[in-house]
Amino acid sequence: TWGLPLSEARAAGLPIVAADLPYAHETVSGYARADFCDPSDAGAWAEAIRGCWRGERPLGAVAQPPPADPFAPDW
């Protein structure tokens, strides 16, 4: 999936903890309040969510280079 919940959270200005997968990096690219976790590590997710809730998790800007050619920027 492309990440509709991530897009909605980004539009609302919410902090984001997402799966460390290509679609998530692409979806939140350029957003300043995001971090990533191993999608298969439940302990890391719990720690990340708890850290965000307590304001202890460092969230930062996400930079994702555009995909390689051939690439179409829209439909």
Task: Count how many residues are written for the chain.
Answer: 75
Higher pLDDT, 47 or 59: 47
Residues 14-33: tens digit of each pLDDT? 989 999 998 888 888 889 88
Residues 1-13: tens digit of each pLDDT? 567 899 999 999 9
Going from the C-alpha of 44 to that of each of 7, 22, 37, 41, 60, the distances in angstroms are: 22, 18, 6, 5, 17
